[in-house]
Amino acid sequence: MKHIDKSVFNIKKLKLSSTQIIVLGFLLAIIAGSLFLMLPFATADGEHTDYLTALFTSTTSICVTGLVVEDTFSHWSFWGQFIILILIQVGGFGVITIYSGIMMILKKTFTLGTRLLIQDYYNLDSIHGLIKFLKRVIKDTFIVEGIGAFLYSFFFIPRFGFFKGIWVSVFNAVSAFCNAGMDIIGSNSLMDYTTNVPVNIITIGLIVMGGIGYVVWFEFAENMKNSIKRGYTPKIFWSKLGVHSRLAIHLTIFLIVSGMLFVMLFEWNNPETLGNLSVGNKILASLFQSVTFRTAGFATIPQEALTPSTCLLGCIYMFIGGSPVGTAGGIKTVTIFVVLLNVSSFIKNRTETVILDRAVSERLINKANAIVAANLIITLILIFVLINTTSVSALSASYEMFSATGTVGLSRAVTAGLNTAGRIVVIIGMFAGRIGPISMALFFSTQSSDKNDIKYANGHFIVG
């Protein structure tokens, strides 16, 4: 990773890499949030919250996960919910974006080190146009969340009254766009709206917009404007999109549709989930479940009632997550596709891995392999620890931990009943999932070079 200029955050003695600054930023935000949530004014009954509960809630908010040990709608006061909403927004943007936004408000100059930091955070190829990109991220996020809140208000104001209805609408819109999955509607997430088509579609739209990645929907929107001006056909419009955007859209559609079909297959006759719904509502609930698997965390059907096959499917989809440079978690759609395509290329004895007529660099393939392996290893280790420190079954522990490291927020009614050890394990999982195991490894790394200084002779090893 690149090393950041000493002027960033006024670091004079320590030279911190961009990864270390990002990790420390998230950690400090979590600690600050936990201290605020401990205060009596943050709870509905005016009593202080124990630190582990406050830390868990702050972590799940900043990491936009959604697993909760106390119901958000009942345990926390308006001010507590407001703090949680701010933490969700900070987590969705990222502490680096928040810091940069404050710099822009104060009209401070961005140093080269700060620009490199932002570039690293968003995994961008260049610092060219970085500030313009950052401004658009902030502006368009608020616009989309505002539209979502406005549309929600038509359903939540009649139920909760004007002021609370507005508050519920805003909270839900921010949480959905940031893929946090937390709500203040009630104790059963969105299960009261299982058959409500508009609420489902609004939530799905916000989840997908946040999860598909800023780069994709910025390019899609820009291309749409040009197509309207110049009268492009759909074929020309599609060809004008960059290869990353086309791939991300393809993969997102494939995962949503395939997930929906699998959920229908596994849950069609399950009386506790889809069994008692009409055909149309079965399709709607299956679509929502497929989307929410991909790091959203909302639920319109009880997760503890899902069949083992659906739970296993969910673990896979939660592990994959959303697309790069967005609010979703997981290893990301493009990452897993690169790994699988590389496997296919090896089996077919091809010398290159090619996506949409573009070769994938060896460095990118190695990065994708490392991300998949590191995330899978840390998740499996934490599952093992959770099973051996709590009374949770292997299936529920796996579902819980893939949800935590994928920053999803779905649970088989396990989270609230976790003991102290279990809560700590899940906190570690959520933080590792949001930061990424690779970033955690780089955080503790003292090596400044990414190249081997010594070339070794090839060894004779046997694999497979």
In this predicted structure, the answer to whether residue 320 has a pLDDT above a threshold of 80 is yes
Q: CA neighbours within 13 Å on the CB side: how many for 389?
A: 16
**Does residue 6 surpass a pLDDT of 60?**
no
CA 449 to chain centre: 30
CA distances from 67 to 159, 228, 407 (A): 25, 42, 9
Alpha-carbon dihedral sign for residues 432, 435, 436, 437: negative
pLDDT of residue 12: 44
* Angle subtended at Cα 256 by Cα 251 and Cα 258, rounded to the nearest 5 degrees: 90
* Helix 437-444 × helix 420-435 angle, to 10°: 90
Distance separating alpha carbons of residues 380 and 401, to the nearest angstrom: 8
pLDDT digits (tens, 9 = 90+) for 378-417: 999 999 999 999 999 999 999 999 999 999 999 999 999 9
What does the H/E/C string look like for 411-428?
CCCCHHHCCHHHHHHHHH
Q: How many CB atoms lie under 10 A from the CB of residue 388? A: 11
Report the sign of the C-alpha dihedral through residues 421, 427, 430, 435, in that order: negative
Least confident piece of the model among 63-67, 106-110, 161-165: 106-110
Can you tell me the distance from the alpha carbon of 173 to that of 176, in angstroms, rounded to the nearest whole number? 5
The better pLDDT of the pair 219, 77 is held by 77
- pLDDT tens track for 260-315: 999 999 999 999 999 999 999 999 999 999 999 988 889 999 999 999 999 999 99
State residue 447's pLDDT score.
53
pLDDT at 239: 84
Tokens 């091809």 belong to residue? 350
| Average of per-residue pLDDT values in the chain | 87
Residue 144 near residue 209 (C-beta atoms within 8 A): yes
Look at residue 21 and tell me whether its pLDDT is greater than 90: no
Q: What are phi and psi of 77, to 5 degrees?
A: -75, 180
pTM of the predicted model over 0.85: yes
The C-alpha atoms of residue 458 and residue 4 are separated, in whole angstroms, by: 35
Q: Which of 49-58, 106-115, 350-359, 442-451 has the highest mean pLDDT?
A: 49-58
pLDDT at 85: 96
CB 124 within 8 A of CB 131: no
**Residue whose structure tokens are 């790994």:** 339
Helix (H) or strand (E) holding 354, with range, is strand 354-355
Provide the pLDDT confidence category of residue 446 given band limits of 50, 70 and 90: low
Residues 6+ apart with CB under 8 A from 336: 320, 368, 372
